[in-house]
Amino acid sequence: MTTLDPVNAKAWSPSLYGTHGHFVHSKQHTNAIVGLLDPQPTDRIFDLGCGDGKLTKRLVTDYNVRSVVGVDASAPMIEAAKAACKDEVESGRISFEVLDGFDVEKSKWAGEGFDKVFSNAAIHWMKRDPVAVIRGAHKVLKSGGSFIAEFGGHGNIACVHAALVAALKRRNVPDAEKHMLFFPTTNYYAKLLEPYFSPIHLEIVPRPTLLPTDLNGWLSSFATHFLEAVPESERENVRKEVNEECKPVLCDDEGRWWLDYVRIRVIAIKK
């Protein structure tokens, strides 16, 4: 949920996210990356791009980690996270802060010596300077600390992205491709990590994902950076065109929408 150019962090709606994107923190879709995180009772964890805090809370309630600091660029999402984790915040086990992933390296958390930096479904939003995000993770970790992340990998939601780019080009939006998010290959991300971390696990994992509502709901929550590139009067037409182009590929015989999610999973150790 951390912002990038031209994504607007203020555009995130906790209510829309809860309706159309709750699969992001569901156990079904996070058990794998939490397994790689391997939470321990002694862990102090920095949750980069924590969103609404639902997964952050589980690190304490289900795995009894020592403490978690959750940061996100979206103030509305941080307020939702504080509400969702009220008891844990009051006890001091969890704290939340509005902080962009690009700014972590210069924040008060630099040098704090966290055991692990964890990030789920967030780093693909941090397109403007992914190396700054890596430097931030490096800065907040102790020597030998772990960076564990899952986010969109190469080929993620390719069908929808192709349809969105085509819709923008039909409207003569310049550089329509710049609205794509950061979906790297394992080789490319390993090269970005190398000056700061020793990568020990990188994989690309196809993960077809059943939407809780329909494609319009998903577009309203996760494609605002595309839709805001056209006049408001045109946005419904863009959504309609994307639906029409993607339906033969992504909608099954029962009318359910499956998005072609592809994830990159990363474990790296601070040098």
Domain spans, the chain: 9-160+181-212+260-270
Is residue 261 within 8 A of residue 142, CB to CB? The reply is no
Cβ–Cβ under 8 Å, residues 81 and 122: no
Least confident of 45-49, 124-128, 266-270: 124-128
Percent of the chain whose pLDDT exceeds 70: 92
Fold assignment, 9-160+181-212+260-270: Rossmann fold (3.40.50)
- At which residue do the structure tokens 């909608």 appear? 251
Q: How far apart are CA 78 and CA 230, in angstroms?
A: 28
Per-residue model confidence as pLDDT tens digits over 194-230: 999 999 999 999 999 999 888 988 998 888 888 989 9
Question: How far is Cα 263 from Cα 208, in angstroms, rounded to an integer?
Answer: 10
Asked which of 73-77, 147-151, 181-185, 202-206 is least confident by mean pLDDT, the reply is 73-77
Q: Please compute the mean of the pLDDT values over residues 153-181 and round it to a whole number.
A: 94
Strands (DSSP E) found in 167-257: 197-210
Measured in degrees and rounded to the nearest 5, phi and psi for residue 241 equal -65, -40
pTM beyond 0.75, yes or no: yes
Indicate whether 8 pLDDT > 60.
no
66 has pLDDT over 70: yes
In whole angstroms, give the CA distance from residue 158 to residue 174.
Answer: 20
Q: In angstroms, how far is CA 32 from the centroid of its own chain?
A: 15
Task: Work out the pLDDT band at 30, boundaries 50, 70, 90.
Answer: very high
Q: Are 233 and 185 in contact (CB under 8 A)?
A: no
Q: How many helices (H) and strands (E) does the chain have?
A: 11, 7
The answer to whether the Cα torsion of 2, 239, 15, 36 is positive or negative is: negative
Judged against a pLDDT cut of 60, whether residue 31 lies above it is answered with yes
pLDDT in tens, 79-107: 999 999 999 999 999 999 999 999 999 99
